[in-house]
Every structure is written in C-alpha cells, then in structure tokens.
Structure 1
Amino acid sequence: MAPFLSLSVIFLLLQFPFLSLSTNPEGNALHDLRSRLSDPNNVLQSWDPTLVNPCTWFHVTCNSNNHVIRLDLGNANVSGTLGPELGQLHHLQYLELYKNDLRGKIPKELGNLKTLISMDLYDNKFEGKIPKSFGKLKSLKFPAAKQQ
C-alpha cells in the first residue's frame, strides 16, 4: 500500500504544482506579494515559489542563514497593493519600494518588522495615514515615506 500512496502523492504534485509551493514562510510571503503586483517589465520573473527559499531570486538579499534581509524593488515599475504578508519577513532590514505605482493603505503589519533599518516607500500612491504600528520600529534609522 505504501508504494501506491507514494505514487498518488507524486501524481497529485504533478497535476497540481501549486501544492508544491515552498514551505518557507518568507518565500510564501514574497510570493503572496508578487500575486498582488502587476509586473510589466518582468522584474519578478525569477520569483519561483517551488524553490526551497527565495535567496536566489532577483531583488531579494538573504543573510548567511538564508533569511530575507533586503527587498529592493525601488523604481521597478510595479503596481498594485501591499498586503499583511510583508509583516512575515521578520529578519528584513531594508525595504526599498520607492518610485512605483503602489496604492492602497500601508499595511500595519510592517510595524512587526523589528529589525528594519531602512524603509523607502516614497513616490507611490498610498492613501490613508502612516500606521501607528510604525512606532514599534525601534531599529528604523532611515524612514522615507512621503504622504500625499
């Protein structure tokens, strides 16, 4: 019975490749972000959710422990919205999203990024107020968010 079960699992993974998405929470968070964005220049085409982690993706930098520490999509000509998934990048130090066409509210979950040193969100079309949760960002040295 065990060989049949193994073949069944392999068959399911081949039929439904989305079932084999990375179990890496950071990779999943970035893939969720990608699904929210329009990317006319294909700058995110290397973001393959089937890889073990996102450290080989363009515009993503990881530390020696394979944790995402930098997301650099500044001036990448992407558009869309940000979601709460970015708050799952617990080791993120640099968030560069300037000069795009990002809209909607800035997610309050960005306030969970305790190791964030720099956050550049300027020249987008965000609406609403800067979340109060940003007051928890004690490591933040270079905030750059221009409100419209």
Structure 2
Amino acid sequence: MAFYEHISAFSLVLALSLSSTNTSLAARHLLDTGAVSSSTLALIQSTIPPLIQLKFPNVGLPVFQTLPKPKMPATLPSTQIPSPPTRIAVMPLNPWNTLFSFLTIILPLLNPFVAFAVNPQGETLLSWKQSLNGPAEALSNWNPTDEAPCVWLGITCNINKEVVELELRHLSLYGTVPTNLSSLVSLTKVVLSSTNLTGSVPREIAILHELNYLDLSDNALTGAIPSEICNLLKLQEIHLPKEIFPKESFSSRN
C-alpha cells in the first residue's frame, strides 16, 4: 500500500509541478488535503527535481525544495559605514580669464624687466627730465609706464591726447630750456617761469608753429632772442628774462 501511495503521490506531484507555475503551492495543497503524507512528500522532494531537469532541461526546478537562507551582510558600526563619495562641482574654465589672471600675477614680478613704452611726446618730455639736475620729486609723476603724458604735472592734452600745454612754475628744475621739440609741435602754450633754468633761448622753439604763448621769465637765461621766433605767426604773447636782449634783426622786424 505504501508503494502505491508513493507512486500515486509521485505522479500527482509531478503533474502539478509541470502544470503549475508555483510547485510549492502544489505541494502544500497535497499536504493540506491529506493526499500524501509528509514522509512521502520528503521522498518526492529529493526525486522530482533531477527528473524534471533530465526530461525538461529548460524548466526550472520546483521551488518547494528547502532553499538556503540568503546571507545578509553584517551590519557595520556607524563609524565603519563608508560614506558616499563627495561630488565636487567643477566649473568650466574660461581660457581668457585664466590668461588674464596669470598676467596679473606675473607682470608685476617681471618689472622692471618688462618694457613699457609711452608715446613719442612722452618720450621727448622724459628725455628733457633726465637732463635736469633738480630733485627727482619735482616731476615724480612723470611715469614712463603711462600710455600718454596727459596726466603728468604741468601737461595738458587735447581730445586726441596731443600735448598742447607745458606749464611748470616755481620748481627747482636746474636745467636748460628743452631743445628736442620735434614731437611736441602741437604745443600752443609753454610756461617755464621761476624754474631755475640757465642757458639761452633755443632756436628750436621756432618749429612750434601752433605756439601762441611763451613765458620763460624769472630764469637765469642769457643771450639774444633767436630770430627764428619771428616765424611763429600765431605767437601773441612772450615773456623773457630782462637779461635776454633782442638781436638787431629781430628788433628791426618789430
């Protein structure tokens, strides 16, 4: 009887296993209805899976067999739980901003090896400054790193950044009246009064065709007024030290 029970139960469980998507429910149904005993079911559990795999290799094994419990990861202490990686937002770099920042840092370090060039009018004025023997503080803001001399002491420029006025009063320059004036032909006014200048009035002033005002008074200038000044057709007013005397040719024209 036990043999036939096993055969019948085996056939029944096998049939349910192949027709049902959940063989564990089929086995539980047989136990609940008393169709098979627990010992018979245990025997079938060890026999059916190999048969199913042999006959139907693509069919999964019945799931009513006892499955091992999945291993749960050990709980780590809170101090050992790895924290997620920190994401750092990196903004894309603008190459021009990087270049500007680099030059802002490097250029001051290279000074004075980096040559800064003022315009030709500034170079002419700086050349005259270097010939003076007075204290450097007198023209301390005549800076060769400036683009133009328009912000220098005693200098006035027009809208085109051309020097139109040179006006220095009551300074201890200790030098001579500038003679290199080829870059300053836009001058309309020259005032160098009380600046401790010596020497003579240079004939090179005659190239300042826009000049309308000349004041060299209160200086230790000597000699005669150069006749070339008569070529300054726009000259309206002139002030010279009393030691300066006019040439005969000059006085005869006036």
Do these two structures clear the TM 0.5 threshold for a shared fold by scoring above it?
Answer: yes
Map of 1:3 onto structure 2:
none
Map of 2:192 onto structure 1:
97
Alpha-carbon distance, 1:41 to partner: 7.2
Match of 1:83 among 174, 178, 202: 178
What SS does the aligned partner of 2:230 have? Answer: helix
Conservation of the 8 A alpha-carbon contact between 2:177 and 2:201: yes
Report the residue type matching 1:100 in the other structure: T
Map of 2:116 onto structure 1:
20
Does residue 130 of structure 2 align to residue 58 of structure 1?
A: no
Does residue 125 of structure 2 align to residue 30 of structure 1?
A: yes
Alpha-carbon distance, 1:32 to partner: 1.0
Gaps of at least 5 residues in structure 1 are 1-9
Following the alignment from structure 2 to structure 1, what is the Cα–Cα distance between the partners of residues 126 and 186? 17
What SS does the aligned partner of 2:170 have? Answer: coil
Once the two structures are overlaid, the 10-residue window that deviates more, 63-72 or 49-58, is: 49-58
Alpha-carbon distance, 1:124 to partner: 0.6
Following the alignment from structure 2 to structure 1, what is the Cα–Cα distance between the partners of residues 120 and 136? 26
What SS does the aligned partner of 2:137 have? Answer: coil
Instruction: Choose between structure 1 and 2: higher helix proportion.
Output: 2
Q: What pairs up with 1:124-143 in 2 under 5 angstroms?
A: 124-143=219-238
Alpha-carbon distance, 1:61 to partner: 0.6
Following the alignment from structure 1 to structure 2, what is the Cα–Cα distance between the partners of residues 88 and 127? 26
Greater C-alpha Rg? 2
Conservation of the 8 A alpha-carbon contact between 2:181 and 2:207: no
Map of 1:7 onto structure 2:
none
What SS does the aligned partner of 2:156 have? Answer: strand
Percent of aligned pairs sharing the same letter: 32
Map of 2:241 onto structure 1:
146
Report the residue type matching 1:101 in the other structure: N
- Superposition misfits of 4+ residues, deviation over 6 angstroms: none
Does residue 218 of structure 2 align to residue 123 of structure 1?
A: yes
TM-score by length of 1: 0.81
Conservation of the 8 A alpha-carbon contact between 1:118 and 1:142: yes
Once the two structures are overlaid, the 10-residue window that deviates more, 37-46 or 85-94, is: 37-46
What SS does the aligned partner of 1:86 have? Answer: coil
Report the residue type matching 2:173 in the other structure: V
Structure 1 residues 41 and 32, CA, compared in 2 at 3 Å: closer, same or farther?
closer
Instruction: Choose between structure 1 and 2: higher strand proportion.
Output: 1
Question: Which of 1 and 2 has higher RCO (CA within 8 Å, sep 6+)?
Answer: 1
Structure 1 residues 88 and 130, CA, compared in 2 at 3 Å: closer, same or farther?
farther
- The count of residues paired between Structure 1 and Structure 2 equals 135
Deviations 1:92-131 (A, max 9, x none): 1110101121011222111110111111001111122111
Alpha-carbon distance, 1:81 to partner: 1.4
Structure 1 residues 40 and 122, CA, compared in 2 at 3 Å: closer, same or farther?
same
Alpha-carbon distance, 1:55 to partner: 0.5
